[in-house]
Amino acid sequence: MRRALFPGSFDPITKGHEDIIIRGLNLFDEIVIGVGINSEKKYMFSSEKRINFIKNLFIKSNKISVTSYEGLTVNFCKTINANYILRGLRNPGDFEFEKAIAHTNRKLSGIETIFLLTSVETSFISSGIVREIILNNGDYRSLVPNSVRF
């Protein structure tokens, strides 16, 4: 079975994340969405809320599961028997950042990282931009799936 982990903070999940996950289903038998918990980070939404946003989005898919995790991503991959890490790339800066992590992960564990380019329609969206719009009472709805709207 080809199982991939799609890790992230998903604070909140965006239409860009959704696009990568849906397209990733063509490559993998199962995708585990891992909501990373980092005690050093300040989140807008609780881990429970972020997980619920994602579960509600993919409620009809039996090929997607959602869980939280702490610690090294490669260690979590081993725990869930995932041989791949799925990541989305929006721009050259993302590539340079993600490339170093992917090389390190492969060196430490042998786990391969598969990169998908974001679609043109979602390449400008980031959770950080969405959070800023929400904090300033802007209309964020076109940037996130319906499950995130409140």
Q: DSSP string of 61-130?
A: -TTEEEEEE-S-HHHHHHHTT--EEEEEE-SHHHHHHHHHHHHHHHHHH--EEEEEEPPTTTTT--HHHH
Quote the tokens at residue 100. Answer: 């170093």
Active site (annotated) includes residue 17: yes
Domain boundaries, the chain: 3-148
Does the domain at 3-148 match CATH 3.40.50.620? Answer given as yes
CA angle 71, 77, 146 (to 5 degrees): 85
Active site (annotated) includes residue 60: no
pTM exceeds 0.85, yes or no: yes
The confidence score (pLDDT) of residue 150 equals 77
Taking only the tens place, the pLDDT of each residue in 77-111 is: 999 999 999 999 999 999 999 999 999 999 999 99
Active site (annotated) includes residue 41: yes
Taking only the tens place, the pLDDT of each residue in 60-81 is: 999 999 999 999 999 999 999 9
Quote the tokens at residue 4. Answer: 């991939």
Among the options 23, 49, 90, 131, which is catalytic? 90
- Is residue 107 within 8 A of residue 74, CB to CB? The reply is no
Mean pLDDT value of segment 35-59? 94
Active site (annotated) includes residue 119: no
